[in-house]
Amino acid sequence: MGLMNLFGRKGAPSETVRVMPYMIKTQFVPYKLKARQRSSSTLMINLKNLSKTPVMGSVSVQLPKQLGFDNVGMSKAKDVKLGEIAANEEKEAKIEIFSDVGTDAGEYTINLTAYVHYRDYELVENSMTKRAVIEVV
């Protein structure tokens, strides 16, 4: 009896482990933040399940130190649980991103990681990453 059989998984990896699990599209509205003042933009993340089976999904977003998920700028990482995503279904997550008086003009890279979970959100079966760039003017 293998360790994975103990948790209910068969010996062969599932389809979601072998193929790219998601197609990730990102968009900022408005597409720029203001430098040296408080402003916000909404990051819209569209996640499409490319596998032939339903999956449990979540997205993790990490911001650079000059941006934040709140007006104060203290929070730099956020996890969004999307629940079950059927085959070829798209789910959308909207996340507010803020600049403040300490944000200089330039381009900032935001790292996104989309996860495929097994049974619950603690067990990760597959993941993929994407970078999105927002401009501060």
Does a structural domain hold residue 70?
A: yes
Reported confidence tier of residue 1, pLDDT bands at 50, 70, 90:
very low
Q: Which of 56, 76, 80 is nearest to 66 (CA)?
A: 76
Question: H/E element holding 113?
Answer: strand 106-118
End-to-end CA distance of the chain: 59
Percent of the chain clearing pLDDT 70 (strictly above): 87
What residues make up the domain containing 45?
A: 16-136
CATH number, domain of 100, equals 2.60.40.10
Between these two residues, 17 and 101, which has the higher pLDDT value?
101
Average pLDDT over all residues of the chain: 89
127 with 98: CB under 8 angstroms?
no
Reported confidence tier of residue 20, pLDDT bands at 50, 70, 90:
confident
- Residues in a beta bridge with 49: 22
Does a structural domain hold residue 6?
A: no
Does a structural domain hold residue 5?
A: no
pLDDT at 18: 64
- Residues in a beta bridge with 77: 62
Reported confidence tier of residue 72, pLDDT bands at 50, 70, 90:
confident
User: Region 20-40: what's the mean pLDDT?
Assistant: 95
Q: Which of 33, 34, 56, 58 is nearest to 45 (CA)?
A: 58
Label the pairing between strands 55-62 and 77-85.
antiparallel
Task: Name the domain count of the chain.
Answer: 1
Distance of alpha carbon 77 from alpha carbon 26, whole angstroms: 17
pLDDT at 71: 86
pLDDT tens per residue, range 100-135 = 999 999 999 999 999 999 889 999 999 999 999 999
Note the pTM of the prediction, 2 decimals.
0.85
- Residues in a beta bridge with 130: 112
User: Region 28-45: what's the mean pLDDT?
Assistant: 96
